[in-house]
Amino acid sequence: MKGKDFLTLLDIDQNKLMELLKLSLMLKENLYSDCLKKKTLAMLFAKTSTRTRVSFETAMTHLGGHALDLKWEETNFVKGNIKDEARVLGLYCDIVMVRVFNHNQTLKIAEGCEKPVINGMDDLYHPCQALADLLTILEVKKSFKGIKLGWIGDATNVFNSLMLGAKMVGMETVAAIPEGYEPRIKTNATIVRDPKKAAREADVLVTDTWVSLGFEKEKEERIKVFKPYQLNSKLLSIAKKDCIVLHCLPAQRGYEITSDVLDSPQSVIFQEAENRLHTEKALLLDLI
């Protein structure tokens, strides 16, 4: 993948996906290296961030490189031509990570920049999160074979990316999503309305916020619609006894997930969060 972009999981095939996951496991055991010495990552943020910002900057530091934290509103991306500005970033830096509101912005930046561009999240995809989710499932379950993944709630950017990944590794996916909130991309998941159908005999249960960045004006309506789609102990009890729980964070406790589930022994949510660091290291090494 040297020199290529990573905008969605469609940019890689199954073999490359498994290579990245295996490399992530190796890097998790060996945190530090100087493989990216004198290399620079430009991180461009139009959205708020905790995990993406800290994990990418830490990843570059561990690998001997350097990361620049650029706020969209403090750059000339706010008034200049996006492709021109992206081209300039490519002249200075070895790789660029963008976290923007619109997928079209991601595409324009990748088109303008001659260096590899990573999609750190936009309205349609969150491929870096999907890599961490898949690594966590592989760590705990040891294999993707025969795994049923149950998604509960909104068809977010995380859903879109995780469903692409689930298809690539052969997991069965059943997603409980209310009418009118279906995914904006073609998915291999079975869409149902009843959360119990998604949770029944599931090996993995996943949820995400009901009010994603950019949807704050719809907050009250969304809370009403998604209230029956809460991942709580009653729903978890329908899944397999060794079912694990994932959430990309930040979580709105008491809304899409209850605290007793988030903090339960079946929750691997913070292991999942840590794995952002390791999968992003693998991605950086593979792209630069």
Active-site amino acid positions: 99, 126, 129, 208, 248, 276
CA distance 229 to 207: 9
CA distance 283 to 288: 9
DSSP letter at 242 equals T
CA distance 214 to 222: 13
User: Can you give the three-state secondary structure of 257-288, one letter per residue?
Assistant: ECHHHHCCCCECHHHHHHHHHHHHHHHHHHHC
Instruction: Determine contact, residues 61/82, Cβ cutoff 8 Å.
Output: no
CA distance 131 to 287: 15
Structure tokens at 49: 């961030």
Coil, strand, or helix at residue 88?
helix
Instruction: Determine contact, residues 125/7, Cβ cutoff 8 Å.
Output: yes
For residue 14, give the nearest of 134, 126, 123, 98 by alpha carbon.
Answer: 134
202 torsion bin: left (phi>0), alpha (psi -120 to 50), beta (else):
beta
Structure tokens at 232: 């709580």
